[in-house]
Amino acid sequence: MEVKLNIPFNKPYLTGKETHYIYQAVQSGKISGDGMFTKKCHAFFEARYGFTKCLLTTSCTDALEMAAILLEIEPGDEVILPSYTFVSTANAFVLRGANLIFVDSEPTNPNMDVAAIKALITPKTKAIVPVHYAGIACDMDGIMELAKEFNLFVVEDAAQAIDSYYTGKDGIPKPLGSIGHLAAFSFHETKNIMSGEGGMLVINDARFANRAEVIREKGTNRSAFFRGEIDKYGWVDMGSSFLPSDILAAFLFAQLESLTLIQNRRKEIWENYQKAFAVLALNGKLVLPNIPAYASNNAHMYYIVCHSLAERSALILALKEAGVMAVFHYLSLHTSPFYAAKHGDRVLSNSDYFSDCLLRLPMFYELSNEDQAQICAIILRFYGFSAD
C-alpha cells in the first residue's frame, strides 16, 4: 500500500538562537519596544541594504498604515495599486478614505502593468503602490518616472521582497524597498525571514523620518525623549501603537544572522522545481515563473500557472489526496464583495487569470530533496509525464 505523504505548504524555520536571544531580551529588563534587539535589527537592515531609516512594526499591515498617514492620504485622494495583492495593501489606504484605482497585472507575471498606470492618473492621484509579487521586482524605473512627472509618492509593498534587487537603467542593483519614498516589509511566519508576526517601515525620504517615529509611538515624541533630545514628551500628532516588543525583535535578529544560509537553501529548492517542470513548460502544459531581466529572485515562493480554474482545482485535489498541501493565492480585489461596486466594470483580465490559475507549491527551508521530488513526480504524472 502506498504511504500517504504529509508535506505542509509552509513550515517556519528556527535557527536555534531565537530562544537564546529572547532570554537575553527578557534579562535586559527592557522587553517593550525599541530595546537592544530592535536597534540591532534596524542597524542590520540599514547597513546591509542602505535603507535610510528603518522602524520595526507589529506587522507589514501596520507599516502600510503608517505610510498612508505619513503621506496624509485624505478622503477623495486616489491611490493606484494592483488588484492582485493581499487586502492589507488596499486597507491601509481605504482606512484614510482613499479611492482605490486598481491596475491590471502584466500578462507574464502578477506584478502591476506599469504601461497601464499613466492612463489611470488624474489630478486626484496621490500615490502609486507597487507590490513586488513573489519577491520579483516591478519595473521601478517606469514607476519612479511617472511619480516624478506627476508629483506622486511611491510606497513599495515589499512584504515578500526581502533580499531581492532591481537593476534599472543605470545598471546598479538596488535592494527592493530602497527605491520608493517609503516601503513596507513583512516578517510573518510564511516569509523568508520571520518573527511569527512582524513588519518594518522603511523611510527613504528624510522628510518623513521624524514624523514616522512619532506616529509609531502613539503620536508622542517619546523616542526623542529617550534619546535625551527633549526633557519631557507629550502628544504631538496622530498615531497608534505600531511598535513591537523587543522579544519579537530578538527572534527576528536570530533569523537575520542566518539570512544568507536561509536564502541559499530556498534558492536551491526554487531551482529544483524550475528544472523539474521545464519539460511541462516546453510542452505547453503549464507556465513557470517569469523573472524579468531587471529583477533578481529571492525564492520567496514557487508557483506554477495552470490553463484554467478547473485544471488548477483538479491539480490541488491530486496533491491533497497524496498528502501535499498546495494553495492558490489572491482573489482579485476589484471583484471583491467589498469593492466591486466602487471599481466599476473596468476589466482586469490578467489579474483574474492569475487569481484563477496560479498555484503555489510547498516552499520552506526544511523541505527535503526527497519530499520535493515526490511533489514534482505527482505534478509530472498529473500532466502525463514521467518523473524519471
Each residue's pLDDT tens digit, 251-267 = 999 999 999 999 999 99
Q: What is the pLDDT of residue 2?
A: 62
Nearest to 201, CA basis, from 56, 306, 334, 318 = 56
Q: What is the pLDDT of residue 1?
A: 44
Distance CA 52, CA 74 (A): 26
Nearest to 160, CA basis, from 211, 84, 96, 107 = 84
Q: What is the pLDDT of residue 228?
A: 75
Out of 240, 257, 274, pick the residue that ends a domain: 257
Q: What is the per-residue pLDDT across 123-138, written as a single tens digit (0 to 9) for each?
A: 999 999 999 999 999 9
In the predicted model, what is the mean pLDDT of residues 219-237? 80
**Maximum CA extent, the chain:** 74
How many structural domains is the chain composed of?
A: 2
Distance CA 26, CA 223 (A): 21
DSSP-derived secondary structure letter, 134: G
Q: pTM here?
A: 0.95
Out of 257, 286, 314, pick the residue that ends a domain: 257
| 181 and 303 share one domain | no
Q: What is the per-residue pLDDT across 200-212, written as a single tens digit (0 to 9) for each?
A: 999 999 999 999 9
> 119: helix, coil or strand?
helix
Kindly tell me the burial class for residue 293, based on how many C-beta atoms sit within 10 Å of its own C-beta (0-12, 13-18, 19 or more).
exposed
- Let me know if residue 1 belongs to a domain: no
**DSSP-derived secondary structure for 272-331:** HHHHHTHHHHHTTS-B-----TTB----S--EEE-SSHHHHHHHHHHHHHTTB--B--PP
Distance CA 266, CA 366 (A): 9
Q: What is the per-residue pLDDT across 150-160, written as a single tens digit (0 to 9) for each?
A: 999 999 999 99
End-to-end, the C-alpha distance of the chain in Å comes to: 21
Nine-digit cell string for 278: 521545464
Domain that holds residue 273: 260-382
| 249 and 266 share one domain | no
Give yes or no for residue 230 having a pLDDT over 80: no
Q: What is the per-residue pLDDT across 341-387, written as a single tens digit (0 to 9) for each?
A: 999 999 999 999 999 999 999 999 999 999 999 999 999 999 999 87
Out of 210, 229, 257, pick the residue that ends a domain: 257
